[in-house]
Every structure is written in C-alpha cells, then in structure tokens.
Structure 1
Amino acid sequence: MKKLLVLTGGGDCPGLNAVIRGVVKRASLTKEWEVWGSLEAYNGVLSDKVEIIKLSGTSVTAGIHAKGGTILRTTTKGGPFNWPVIQADGSWASEDRSDFLLSRLAELGFEAVISIGGDGSQKISQQLFEKGLNVVGVPKTIDNDLSATDYTFGFQTAVQEASNAVDKLVTTAESHHRAMILEVMGRSAGWIALHSAIAGGAEVCLIPEIPYDIDKVVERVNSRYCDGRGFVNIVIAEGAAAVGGQVSAQESTEVGYENVRLGGVGNLLARQLQDNGCTADSRVTVLGHLQRGGSPTAFDRVLATQYGVKAFEMVLAKEFGRMVAYKNNDIVTVSLDEATRDYNYVNTDSYLVQAARGVGISFGD
C-alpha cells in the first residue's frame, strides 16, 4: 500500500474536517492508498516522539464534515524551517529542520503530502516542494487572503458568524441610541469586515486597505443622531488603522509564534470617537475566535469536500507543487508559487466596494 500524509496547519477554521473526510473517502476507492494524519501540522513528524494517526473510513464518519476545528489539531508555532529551540538563558531561537523532515518522511514511507493551510502554510509547501517533497496544497483561511482562489473554505462561515453579530448589535444599538463597534478578524485584508458590514447593514466599515480619517467617521456617526437620538453600527477589521496611525498589536511572548498579536482596535476607535467630538455613547464587541469556531456552513462543507477529493486526485496524477483552487465556479489547480506570490487584499476599486458605498456605507475616507 502507498502512504499519504495529510496535515492541517495555521489557525483552525470551519471545514478542515470536511477536507480530511474528502481525501480519505476518495482514497478509499482506489484500494491502493493508506491515508495518515500528522498531528499539529508538521510538528507530528518533527517531534522526538512521532505523532501520526491512520485515517480509515471509520475515522471520518460520525459527521465530522459538520464539525468545526480539526481532528488532526493544528498549530501556528514551529514548522520545518523555524523549529523553536530553547536557549540556556530561557530565550528561544529557531533552526531549519526541513532536511530532517524530508528524511523522516522517507523513513516512514510516505510518498506524498497534502498540506491544508493558508498563506504561511502554503509558502512552507512551496519551499518543501523546491527541496523535493511531493506536496499538494489545499487553501484554508477565514481571511480569504490567498489570491489564486476566489474563495478559501472557512471564509463564508466566518462571514455568517460576523453578520449574525451585526444583526444582533443593530437591535441593541437602536434600543439604547448607541454606536455599536464590532471588531472582527482581518490582519491585513478586510474581507470579513466588508462582507459582514454589507450583509448586516452597518453604516461604517473600516478595513486595513483604506486608512480612515477619524473626523470623517465622527461626522458620519453624528449625522445619524438628532437631539441625542439615533444609532449607528460600525464594523472594523482588527488590522485597520487611522491615517498616519499604527495597527493595534502587541509582540507575542509565546515560544515559536512569530506574528504580532492583533487586537484592541475596537476600543481604540471608541476612544478616538469620544476624543474627537462624537456625541454618541459607544460600546465595543470583539468577536474574536467565535469567527473560527462552530459548524461550517453548507457552502464551506461543499467547497471543502471538493477540495479534499481534488487534492487526492492531484496526488494520483502526480500534480505536485500545486494547490487546488476555486475559480469561476470550477475546481482547478494552480502552482504553489502562483498561489503565494500575491496577497489577496480587498481591491478598493472593486464593484463590491462600490456597492457598499452605493448603499451608504462609509469607509472613513
């Protein structure tokens, strides 16, 4: 039997289990492949004690396609090119263990790897492919920030959760004449904020791609009030910032975690509104990891299943160094190099942004 390794890397998101299920079920039809899973991305192979599990048909039953998270667990720390090593003084450094990874995979008898992950994970896939690994990528991220695919699974579910939050905040905003600020995820791209603002009927949407002028935001908020009565709903991406301002972030102290930790922009905006003459009483809700959890929507289950099936068929066809993608309502493949070359920012000239402006949404510009 040939052996295939599947892993999930980066942040969790709804639909990961549906991809795993799609891979395993499609592989079972061949009767020639065994599918194994590495726990916590490549860390399951790199760890001193190898942590891999066999994924049989029974492993993917019991409706795992409808469950959030990942049965293989995941991590945003470590990895083959930046394996954390604790120093004698308690600090940590990183070392390249990619050669060790390749030798261990060969030792374990794996002929191919399917890596399910976002921009960072697929950049690792490209690097490993260049070193000779037979790897296929599957795009995953709630941020929808991979430019080679129209959608990444998990995005639609995150948007639905954020839209539900806007819907609920509208009623409390109206009841108390408040300005309700909803902070959603979106480190460098404002896709979740933009979609949920349109879907939820927010009056203001602040995204990383359009630095906001606080005076214009205050003007828009105040225009919604008369004699102290009125309400407004604002959706802001965690990576948004004012003109000339900085992103709200802190350095992480977690070993192996290289990114800054975003958060706090909602509260910052509330202070900015107050300090710049906003008449409204404001409240802040940080949606946080609620966007990542829970059951995937039907759209994401279907998309993730297609990705899983196609990824295994790419292994059969030996289409390594490529990633499955969704383009123009079709499932296609693109090179990992193309998939990670350009970041998928919101195009500020797109019709989606024009439509948002057309229904009166202010971007603070």
Structure 2
Amino acid sequence: MKSGPRPFSPDRIDAPARIKGRGAASNPEGRFESIEKTREDDGWHREEADAPRPPTQITEERARSIISRNDSPDIHFTQSINPYRGCEHGCVYCYARPSHAYLNLSPGIDFETRLFAKTNAAELLRKELAKPGYACSPINLGANTDPYQPIERRYRITRSVLEVLYECRHPCTIITKNALIERDLDLLVPMAQERLVHAFVSVTSLDNRLSSALEPRASAPHRRLEAVAALNAAGVPCGVMVAPILPMVTDRWIEQILQRAAAAGATIAGYTVLRLPYELKDLFREWLELHVPQRAAHVMSLIRQMRSGRDNDPNFGSRMRGEGEFAELIRQRFQLACRKHGIGRGREVRLDTSAFRPPRAASPQGELL
C-alpha cells in the first residue's frame, strides 16, 4: 500500500536524478493511487548510466467542455481555456502538476511527457459562445497549462481558439512563457486594435542556466523579453509576469526583469510567490536537492515563513502573495521597481466586451450579405 514519500537520499537506487530536458526528476504516484512502486538494489553489478530520457507522448482527445469558470478573488478573470492538459515546458514549480493525478498519471515526469490535446476546442468554444444565456467577459488562455507550449506548433489549437474569439469580437488575455506567441501576430494585431487582447509573458529569471533547470523547454529568458518587445512594437499590449518568485532562487532578478520589461515596452506587470500544493511539495524538494543542495533547507524555511509555517497556503487572499516579513519585502521591492520604471499593475487591464457578437449557426440557406 502507499506509504507516503520517502526521504531524499543520493544513495538510494531510486533516488531522483536530473533528466536532461525535463524539469521533474522522478515520477511519483498521484495522491489517488493506492500502490507505490520503487526500485530496489538486488546487489548485482550494474553500469552507471544517465537517467533515461522519456519521450513526449500526445493523446488527442475530444473534450466535453472548453470554458472553465472560477470565482476566486485572487484571479483577475472568471473564465479560462486550456487547450492542452499537461505541459511540455516542464516547469518544476508549476502549480498545475497535481491536476495530472485526476488522470491516474504522475504529477512528475508524466505531467510533462504525457500530454493531451483538445482537438475540438474551437468547435466547443463556438457552441458555448452561441448559447442564449452566455455573458461575455474576458477569457484567459494559459491559466493552467501554457497555450503556446511546443506541441502548439503542430496542433495549432490555441490559434484556432483565437480565430473564433476574433470572429466573435470576444476579448481575451494570454499568459505564456514561449516566444511562439509571435506566430499569431496576424491575429493579435487586429484584435489589439479593437481592444480585444492583452498578453503577458512570464519571466522568472535572467539566468539561462537556471532557467534550463527550472523550465527546461520554455523559451530562454532573453527570447521571452524579445517577444514582449515584438508584441508591443506591433501594437499588441504585452506585460510581464514575474511569476512565480522562488525565495533565494529567483528573487534576485525582480528589479532587473522589470527594468528589461520596461525597455521592451511593457507598461503592466504582476507577480506571484511560489505555491506548493499536494505532490508539488516533494517534487520541488527533489529539485532543490539536485540543483541547489547548499540552499535547499534555507529556501524551504523561507517558503514556510511565507505560508504560516506550512509548505503551502491554499487560502484566498494570501496564497498568491504570501504573508510575513519576506513576503512583504518582495511586495515592496516589486512595487518600488514598478514605480521606478513606470510600470502599472495587472489589474489595470481593460478590454472591450461591448462588441461581442455570438457566432451564428450554419444555415443551409447560406448568408444574406
């Protein structure tokens, strides 16, 4: 039976090891599984070998619904669309990882290698927007998993969703850490001209080496900032999310990120501090022991200081920003840097909902123009 996570030890045969190109170092069972599998050393000689590199597996699925709704006071939007389940970016800190447990898959390696593409997303969106009782409010793309993760190049589901939104003059916000968003400028520019879109690019540090360990398949930090500049130069308002901030790992970059973002034309920015729900707590501890072992205990101590002595705080009002002296220091640093560089806060986004027109059902008689 499942007995809970085993403590990290580099001498264990099943001890996690860095897998090149992946963020997680292990594949623990989700919290709904009743059996835990571990490898044990049988004493036979074995050659030392690098950890295997699991391939990305994509399952095409026909979703039953496409718009998710929330009433959280911590989130600036009430509607969102996630074209994919799982995310190949592999960000080790991703709060969405535990959602893979609902699929009987691991929040670890499975989350970044066992992906699901909602191939009927645009079709479902069109149906939902056409419902008589639908009330238009901005839809966020990227609330859970990144809409521009690498498999979007092949599936183009995010683009198909944007096409429907533009056709209906429906406003949306986008959060991504991939420069692939530049591909859709031909859609985003006319949407921006009608105040129908606002993008945010997430930047956690300016250290390429650190980024390759934290978020191995996302665009490099400098490339993300180039995307911010490209969108703003084209007339698409694009801000920056310094999110999440990892204490004593990425917080040193707050001021520099905001400075570079302002130079790239960003006028709005936001931030969150690291959240560690469910299985993510143990995955993040593994990452610390592998990549910054000398700071691991200190980092976790600061996290608990911001979370009332716990690894995670799920409460509205404090879960995004944390509490305590270190959280207050981050808030003040962020606020001062924004003020210095003329950057506003994320709640200042204003999009136009008045132009929304529901999609019309196809008619055998065609359209009268």
Q: TM-score with structure 1 length normalisation?
A: 0.27
- In terms of fraction of residues, the more strand-rich structure is 1
